[in-house]
Amino acid sequence: MKTNITKALSKFVKETTFEKLPKRDIDRMKMVILETIGCVVLGSQNTTGKILRELIKTIGGNGEATVFGTNFKTSPQNAALINGSMGYHYEYDDGISPAMGLHAGIAIIPAAIAIGETIGASGKELICSMITGYEIACRIGRAMGEEEGYRTSHSTPPLGSFGATVAACKLLGLDLNEINNAIGICGSLVSIAPFEPFIGGTMAKDMYGGWPSFYGAFVALLAQHGFTGLLNILEAKLGFFQVITGGKYNRNKLIGGLGKNYVWTDGHYFKPHAACRAVHLIVDCIYNMKNEERINIEKIKEILVIAKPEIVHLARGGAKPRNDIQAKVSAHYSVAVALILQGDHLSPDFYNDEHLHNPKILNLSRKVRMVLSSDSAVFHIHGHGPVEIIITFKDGTFRKGVFNEERSLEIEKIPDKFKEITLEVLPEKKILQIISMVSELEKIRDIRLLTELLV
């Protein structure tokens, strides 16, 4: 008799304790938390956050959960919605490539912190809930990651919803049946998100982080109050996998070694650039070429980018993006700013209005041309490399560069990244306090000591 997969995952959620977690995972998760908080604090200044805050205030959103970077408190699910949406705006959050490129942190962490703040959870409880959420979301993503039926959808809303749900369940102390019901509810109403709203530069894309965070917190609260869901939602005949992948999934990747081997760290990355992952190889190739030899911008005739379909089809925000959201998924614009602006990475400031309307940047952006590589038969969204770039100059000479593998920002650089993205919002003294507190988060008895620093 086959194991009930949904129940097996629920059992893992219930039985996982902080003491069972590998130290490597705990240490990495603390830096994930720090980076995600930084992304949200930075995002508190954007229009997405302002609209959502005003809406929640209008419809009535009193509560005990903090909206980062502001003095506003609301219900945990609404705080999760706002924080997740604000944090995803700048495309600077973490991801897991083998799990369909899931942006786990921005979907899971705002929900966990909002619930944790409301109940006064400890640092250990918060870390444990987040690692549990990451592991569940990652395993579901890895199980369906080899199937072709889901390749044109953004994975974060559905997968992140499962992760946020179980993280919230863990913090609320739900029993096995309640957790099983919560996963059942989650899989019944989970959101499916196409990539095109991102490529089109819409604010809806920002909610790809906020919606699963809101949904996960809300679903856990529903289950806590006795709401029921299908207990085998993942593997049911007309359940989640049937709808998403036609019933195809890798059972071993889903539950193999569950509770013994934590897989979320495999392929987990911290972004070195504040842009869609699809442009990272391209700009890394550009920076590598710049480091090898100075490039005379004025003499460039054409920049040819030869890449796999997953880059050519996704990184098409265009030569003249209409806003920063669209620019972050534009290979043309990202190549231009990497060549023209000073620095060794694409920072959030590279996508501000001043640069978006800079004639020199836009002129160079129009010289970028994208073509498919000869190895273009198979469309795998999160196997981006390699990329080849040929810069042709007006005198007929050219330079060629190749970059093979995407990279992750080194974990020891996350505190500096946190400083970079929060200095315009928080005073330096508070920034250093947050870094110190998160680095020893397992010692904190009440995470409200942390959230009170985030305003």
pLDDT tens-digit map of 239-280: 999 998 899 999 999 999 999 999 999 999 999 999 999 999
- Residues 283, 263 share a domain: no
pLDDT number for residue 192: 85
Q: Hey, what amino acid is at 135?
A: E
Check residues 335 and 150 and name the one with the higher pLDDT: 335
Percent of the chain with pLDDT over 90: 89
Average pLDDT over residues 30-56: 97
Q: What is the pLDDT of residues 163-201, one digit of tens each?
A: 999 999 999 999 999 999 999 999 999 988 899 999 999
Q: What is the pLDDT of residues 133-147, one digit of tens each?
A: 999 999 999 998 755
- Residues 91, 49 share a domain: yes
- Residues 431, 388 share a domain: no
- Residues 359, 336 share a domain: yes
- Residues 104, 43 share a domain: yes
Average pLDDT over residues 299-314: 93
Query: Average per-residue pLDDT in the chain?
Result: 94
> Domain tally for the chain?
2
Q: Residue 115: CA atoms inside 13 Å, Cβ hemisphere, count?
A: 31
The CATH code of the domain that includes 257 is 1.10.4100.10
- Residues 80, 222 share a domain: yes
Distinct helix (H) and strand (E) counts, the chain: 21, 10
Residue span of the structural domain in which 332 resides: 277-403
Q: Does residue 81 register a pLDDT over 50? A: yes
- Residues 317, 182 share a domain: no
pLDDT number for residue 148: 44
Indicate the residue among 385, 403, 421 that finishes a domain: 403
Average pLDDT over residues 206-213: 98
- Residues 294, 191 share a domain: no
Q: Which two tokens stand for residue 300?
A: 């460039």
Percent of the chain with pLDDT over 70: 96
Q: Does residue 150 register a pLDDT over 50? A: no
Distance CA 110, CA 78 (A): 10
- Residues 428, 297 share a domain: no
- Residues 367, 428 share a domain: no
pLDDT number for residue 16: 98
pTM above 0.75, yes or no: yes
Q: What is the pLDDT of residues 111-136, one digit of tens each?
A: 999 999 999 999 999 999 999 999 99
Q: What is the pLDDT of residues 383-397, one digit of tens each?
A: 577 999 999 999 999
The CATH code of the domain that includes 336 is 3.30.1330.120
Q: Does residue 26 register a pLDDT over 50? A: yes
Tally Cβ neighbours within 10 Å of residue 357. 10
- Residues 185, 52 share a domain: yes
Kindly tell me the burial class for residue 311, based on how many C-beta atoms sit within 10 Å of its own C-beta (0-12, 13-18, 19 or more). buried
Q: What is the pLDDT of residues 11-20, one digit of tens each?
A: 999 999 999 9
pLDDT number for residue 105: 98
Q: Hey, what amino acid is at 153?
A: S
- Residues 340, 217 share a domain: no
Q: Which residues contact 454 (CB under 8 A, 6 or more apart)?
A: 37, 41, 66, 68, 69, 426, 434
